[in-house]
């Protein structure tokens, strides 16, 4: 995605009521909102990704309150919103077409859950040739080590470490991104 493609895009993945109501994510949301403001000020693309389901019993049922974007998130109705039904924001969505249309080469990943949709989307973006930045402290998860039978596991840190060790993308915190973007 190099060459004539030089635009940046921020993906804000699954920051929906179902997740946000499960804990205190005020710090992560503040970082996401800070990044949203920076990207919008620079006229860089911000894309909000929502997980939806057609199953009425699913908390992400498209008509349920849990599927709505968190009101704590700084977004407007005319913002780019992409709906997905699986862990990758690229799978069966128009994300790729949107990024090509806007000549995006650099993707910045934020949102929920670090170990699912953020991880899958970051890997899919890398596989498609994007320069990917996974912003560890602007991702969150409702899960913990006990969820995975490993009580000492810091899930978000583990995912960031794996991605960093892969040497396929930049893994950093919001402060590093702001410095990289000269803010």
Report the domain count for the chain: 1
Residue located via tokens 């977004």: 75
Report if residue 45 sits inside a domain. Answer: yes
Report if residue 1 sits inside a domain. Answer: no
DSSP string, 32-61: HHHHHHHHHHTT-EEEEEEE-BS-TTSTTB
Output the domain CATH number for residue 51: 3.40.50.850
Report if residue 2 sits inside a domain. Answer: no
Report if residue 60 sits inside a domain. Answer: yes
pLDDT tens digits, 45-91: 999 999 999 999 999 999 999 999 999 999 987 899 999 999 999 99
User: What pLDDT band is residue 183 in, cutting at 50, 70 and 90?
Assistant: confident
How far apart are alpha carbons 165 and 150 in whole angstroms? 21
Range of the domain at 72: 7-180
């Amino acid at each position: 995605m190099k060459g004539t493609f030089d635009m940046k895009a921020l993906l804000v993945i699954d920051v929906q009521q179902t997740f946000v109501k499960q804990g205190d994510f005020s710090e992560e949301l503040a970082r996401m909102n800070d990044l949203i403001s920076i990207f919008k000020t620079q006229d860089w693309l911000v894309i909000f990704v929502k997980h939806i389901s057609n199953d009425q019993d699913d908390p992400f049922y498209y008509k349920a309150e849990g599927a709505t974007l968190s009101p704590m998130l700084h977004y407007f109705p005319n913002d780019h919103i992409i709906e997905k039904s699986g862990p990758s924001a690229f799978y069966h969505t128009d994300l790729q077409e949107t990024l090509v249309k806007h000549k995006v080469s650099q993707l910045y990943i934020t949102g929920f859950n670090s170990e699912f949709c953020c991880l899958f989307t970051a890997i899919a973006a890398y596989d498609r040739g994007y320069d990917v930045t996974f912003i560890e402290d602007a991702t969150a998860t409702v899960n913990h080590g006990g969820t995975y039978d490993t009580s000492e596991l810091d899930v978000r840190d583990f995912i960031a470490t794996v991605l960093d060790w892969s040497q396929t993308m930049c893994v950093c915190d919001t402060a590093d991104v702001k410095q990289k973007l000269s803010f």
